[in-house]
Amino acid sequence: MKSKVRKCLFPVAGMGTRFLPATKEIPKEMLPLIDRPLIHYGVEEAVDSGCSDVVFVTGRGKRAIEDYFDRSWELERALIEKGKTEQAAMIKMISNMANFSYVRQPEPLGLGHAVLCGESFCGKEYFGVILPDDVMISIPGEGPVLEQLVKVHCRLGGSVIALEEVPLEDTSRYGIIEGDVEEDGIYRVRDLVEKPEKGKAPGRLAVMGRYVLSPGIFDHLRTIPRGAGGEIQLTDAIRALLREEPVRGVIYKGRRYDCGTMESWLRATVSMSLQNRDF
């Protein structure tokens, strides 16, 4: 089945403990990267990839995300009264980017569980998943990374995951695929290993934070045994899914900024600042 992808899910329920004490009151996803919060980049990518509906799978203390994407009448009015009409229009545009929904993840049971919490939103459609810790910037001549996956899905069908070739010594930090080349940069996935032990990785192609998933993933998320840390692992569900329907990996074209730790977030801030012509 090949279909347009209209919906995108964002798992944002994590506590962001690597950024404490800043994240005691501020969601990690709302930390600024240059002039906008991390989550804004992911939503912009989803919208530019053709998604019209966005769901955030949230937890306690994440109200700031909802407020950010809500209409801010008072701020808009204050800006207009001061003659700052361009800024007022920019603020209004944020709430008009997509149709936003919010679902609570009642327990911190892993990425797979977060995706499962969005089942009622996604329904029977293929849907996108964006992990906002990975900020993906398009390169000239290429569309957004999620759009690259959507195009492969629309052409070949099935679920599609983003891949990046990583150094051998880093394979233990990622999910690693085993697969066969179908086309240039496109692999038919045969297996996945989540954070393999050093020396036991089946290759160097790592799964990054972008997915187009079949609605069939939900049945597997409900039934798979809990994996590492007693959590419901998305990788395990994808392994089960690929026995029933095709799963492909695409080596994406773009630049990834890992913002999952304080050090990597600082590096991303410096790197993107140096490339910003306004600075």
Q: What is residue 1's predicted lDDT score, i.e. its pLDDT?
A: 45
Helices 145-156 and 38-48, packing angle to 10 deg: 30
With vertex at residue 47, the alpha carbon angle to CA 41 and CA 52, rounded to the nearest 5 degrees, is 140
Alpha helices, H only, 118-157: 119-122, 145-156
Q: Does residue 2 lie in a domain region?
A: no
Q: What is residue 168's predicted lDDT score, i.e. its pLDDT?
A: 87
Give me the count of residues in the chain. Answer: 279
Q: What is residue 278's predicted lDDT score, i.e. its pLDDT?
A: 66
Q: Are 243 and 118 in contact (CB under 8 A)?
A: no
Q: Does residue 179 lie in a domain region?
A: yes
Greater model confidence, 270 or 56: 56
Q: Does residue 218 lie in a domain region?
A: yes
Residue 55 pLDDT grade (very low, low, confident, very high; cuts 50, 70, 90): very high
Question: Chain-wide mean pLDDT for the chain?
Answer: 91
Q: What is residue 195's predicted lDDT score, i.e. its pLDDT?
A: 84
Distance CA 161, CA 274 (A): 30
The number of domains in the chain is: 1
Q: What is residue 226's predicted lDDT score, i.e. its pLDDT?
A: 82
Q: Are 39 and 94 in contact (CB under 8 A)?
A: no
Query: What would the pLDDT profile of 147-194 be if each residue is shown by its tens digit?
Result: 999 999 999 999 999 999 999 888 888 889 888 998 889 999 999 888
**Model confidence at 271: pLDDT above 80:** yes
Q: Hey, what are 203's tokens?
A: 């290759």
Beta strands 255-258; 134-137: pairing state: antiparallel
Q: Taking the chain, what is the end-to-end CA distance rounded to the nearest angstrom?
A: 46
What percent of the chain shows pLDDT beyond 90?
A: 64
Q: Does residue 135 lie in a domain region?
A: yes
* Range in 43-47, 68-72, 141-145, 273-277 with the lowest mean pLDDT: 273-277
Helices 85-95 and 73-81, packing angle to 10 deg: 170
Residue 185's CATH number = 3.90.550.10
Q: Does residue 191 lie in a domain region?
A: yes
Full domain range(s) for residue 47: 7-275
**Model confidence at 113: pLDDT above 50:** yes
Q: Does residue 224 lie in a domain region?
A: yes
Q: Are 252 and 210 in contact (CB under 8 A)?
A: yes
DSSP 158-176: SEEEEEEE--GGGGGGSEE
Q: Hey, what are 182's tokens?
A: 């179908």
Query: What would the pLDDT profile of 232-243 be if each residue is shown by its tens digit?
Result: 999 999 999 999
DSSP 94-120: HHTSSEEEEEE-SS---HHHHHHHTHH
With vertex at residue 268, the alpha carbon angle to CA 213 and CA 162, rounded to the nearest 5 degrees, is 20
Q: Does residue 1 lie in a domain region?
A: no
Query: What would the pLDDT profile of 202-230 be if each residue is shown by its tens digit?
Result: 888 999 999 999 999 999 999 998 877 78
Q: Does residue 175 lie in a domain region?
A: yes
